């Protein structure tokens, strides 16, 4: 990634975290105020304040702090300082346990509400995508064994309608976690509708360092045949060194006839470091060149790379035929956004559960560097992808905060549940021990996530 790309990703990350932290803390703030608790400070970020404003009858401090990895709402509380007699009834610790539960739960709840709203706006405007038409099916593969064929149109996954590849991929991933099979309802080229049962018992998806369900199933999206014509040769690459030029049409590589751009890309990727004979047509003349793809490694995978951009000339009629827009009315859109938020939440919980019991690899954890990278990518693409990215991270933030770990909202809720059962609050000593355990657990979790981020950078 270039310097400008890094800056863009950092800015997108700061904006994303700022929005989501504000949403989370506003949940605590709004419900606390509604339930009669005095709020002393609303802070986005930790550390030294870089902006402060005091407002309202209570002169609440609104703060933007220097470290943008979180935030907090400071409420009047006798455990944190002396409280004037006339304000005792506005102290957080004086409120009933059910009111305290409501205040603490409001932060994660607002994260889920934000995701619902984000998806609702996306579905009202419309989500662009391509039809889930199957391309090449790998041999052997679970999809091939199930009888899935090229140009099958995926209508549903385990009974869930899939109008686009984006929804088909997500639904297949969701349905694959903890299950032995996926049932695809497809419409073949003969227009007949059939069920294809894919056995996934041997995949061990969550043990992989990087999940690529489509590859593991042997599926790919269909693309029209595009001639293997070079659009641009990048400087200082293997292609320039071999003498390739823009508008060259690739004819053969090491004696293998190259029929389309997809095959050309696959052959290059499969031959890192191998010197091969390349045949091209240039202005109608046949030329023989020597090409040695350079090795590149990403996410543990090594592949060939030559530094070219291929020409992409998809006929407009095919482009229109393959394009779909998922758009819903006000009521249907709300139902769809509720369903998507619930399914994403449930998937996150199941994956976390499998991490705890060792059925999922900790390499699947991502930290701030990976999040910043995807924030930058989604922001570059457009508002709709960035909004979808925010919804996913907001759900993750909501789920994470509900975990029964001291220092998180879920840890406080656990204490209040104990208080409801035993009829009195947990002791101050218990809370102190819990905080130490919580800090240690969060430190370990964050260390693993950042370590994974750094490994992805150097691989």
Domain residues of the chain, as ranges?
3-35+95-125+369-458, 128-224+315-326, 230-313
Query: Which has more pLDDT, 376 or 95?
Result: 95
Q: Is the pLDDT of residue 237 over 70?
A: yes
Q: Is the pLDDT of residue 362 over 90?
A: no
Average pLDDT over residues 139-163: 90
What is the tens place of the pLDDT at every residue in 302-361?
888 888 888 877 767 777 777 888 888 999 999 999 999 998 998 888 888 877 777 666
Domain 230-313 has CATH 2.30.42.10: yes
Q: Is the pLDDT of residue 419 over 70?
A: yes
* pLDDT at residue 376, rounded to an integer: 79
Is 230-313 in the same CATH topology as 128-224+315-326? yes
What is the tens place of the pLDDT at every residue in 367-410?
677 777 777 777 787 788 888 889 999 998 999 899 888 888 89
* pLDDT at residue 35, rounded to an integer: 93
Provide the mean pLDDT of the chain. 85
- Give the span between the Cα atoms of 206 and 355, in whole angstroms: 9
Average pLDDT over residues 292-297: 87
* pLDDT at residue 456, rounded to an integer: 61
What CATH architecture is 128-224+315-326? Roll (2.30)
Q: Is the pLDDT of residue 293 over 70?
A: yes
> Packing angle between helix 330-356 and helix 165-176, nearest 10 degrees?
40
Alpha-carbon distances of 452 from 114, 178, 306, 363, 366, rounded to whole Å: 28, 24, 28, 6, 7
Average pLDDT over residues 129-136: 87
Res. 81 pLDDT band, cuts 50 70 90: confident
Q: In the numeric block, which tokens belong to residue 186?
A: 């497809």
- Per the CB < 8 A criterion, the answer to whether 384 and 374 are in contact is no
Only one residue has tokens 């662009």, namely 128
Q: How far apart are the first and last CA of the chain?
A: 14
What length is written for the chain? 459
The DSSP result for 256-325, as a single string, is: EEP-SHHHHHHHHHT-TT--EEEEEEETTEEEEEEE-PEEEEETTEEEEE--EEE-----HHHHHHHEEE
- Give the span between the Cα atoms of 101 and 323, in whole angstroms: 47
What is the tens place of the pLDDT at every residue in 11-60?
888 888 889 999 999 999 999 999 999 999 999 988 888 999 998 888 99
Residues marked active site are found at 25
Query: Which has more pLDDT, 262 or 211?
Result: 262
Residues 6+ positions from 74 with CB-CB distance below 8 Å: 39, 40, 41, 43, 80
CA angle 129, 130, 134 (to 5 degrees): 145
CA dihedral over 450, 455, 456, 457, signed as positive or negative: positive
Only one residue has tokens 């603490």, namely 104
């Amino acid at each position: 990634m270039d310097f400008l790309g890094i800056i863009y990703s950092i800015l997108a990350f700061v904006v994303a975290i700022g929005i989501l932290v504000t949403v989370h803390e506003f949940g605590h703030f709004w419900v606390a105020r509604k339930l009669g608790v005095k709020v002393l400070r609303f802070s986005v970020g930790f550390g030294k304040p870089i902006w402060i404003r005091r407002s309202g009858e209570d002169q609440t401090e609104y703060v933007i702090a220097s470290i943008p990895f979180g935030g907090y709402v400071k409420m009047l509380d006798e455990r944190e300082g002396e409280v004037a007699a006339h304000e005792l009834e506005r102290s957080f610790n004086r409120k009933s346990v059910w009111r305290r539960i409501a205040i603490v739960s409001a932060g994660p709840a607002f994260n889920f509400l934000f995701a619902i709203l984000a998806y609702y706006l996306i579905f009202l405007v419309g989500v662009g995508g391509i039809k889930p038409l199957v391309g090449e099916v790998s041999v052997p593969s679970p999809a091939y064994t199930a009888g899935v064929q090229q140009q099958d149109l995926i209508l549903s996954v385990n009974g869930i309608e899939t109008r686009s590849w984006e929804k088909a991929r997500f639904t297949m991933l969701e349905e694959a976690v903890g299950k032995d099979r996926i049932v695809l309802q497809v419409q073949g080229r003969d227009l007949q509708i059939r069920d294809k049962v894919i056995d996934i018992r041997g995949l061990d998806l969550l043990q992989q360092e990087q999940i690529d369900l489509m590859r593991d199933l042997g599926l790919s999206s269909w693309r029209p045949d595009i001639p293997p014509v070079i659009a641009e040769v990048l400087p200082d690459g293997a292609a320039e060194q071999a003498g390739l030029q823009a508008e060259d049409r690739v004819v053969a590589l090491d004696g293998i006839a190259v029929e389309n751009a997809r095959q050309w890309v696959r052959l290059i990727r499969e031959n890192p470091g191998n010197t091969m004979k390349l045949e091209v047509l240039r202005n109608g003349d046949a030329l023989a060149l020597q090409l040695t793809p350079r090795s590149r490694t990403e996410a543990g995978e090594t592949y060939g790379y030559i530094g070219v951009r291929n020409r992409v000339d998809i006929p407009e009629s095919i482009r229109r035929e393959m394009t779909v827009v998922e758009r819903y009315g006000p009521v249907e859109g709300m139902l769809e956004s509720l369903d998507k938020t619930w399914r994403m939440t449930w998937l996150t919980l199941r994956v976390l559960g499998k991490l705890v019991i060792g059925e999922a690899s900790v390499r699947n954890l991502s930290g701030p560097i990976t999040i910043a990278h995807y924030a930058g990518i989604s922001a570059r693409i457009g508002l709709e992808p960035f909004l979808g990215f925010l919804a996913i991270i907001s759900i993750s933030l909501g789920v994470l905060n509900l975990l029964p770990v001291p220092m998180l909202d879920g840890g406080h809720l656990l204490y209040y549940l104990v208080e409801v059962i035993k009829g009195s609050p947990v002791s101050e000593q218990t809370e102190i021990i819990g905080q130490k355990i919580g800090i240690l657990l969060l430190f370990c979790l964050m260390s693993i996530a950042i370590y994974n981020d750094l490994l992805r950078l150097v691989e």
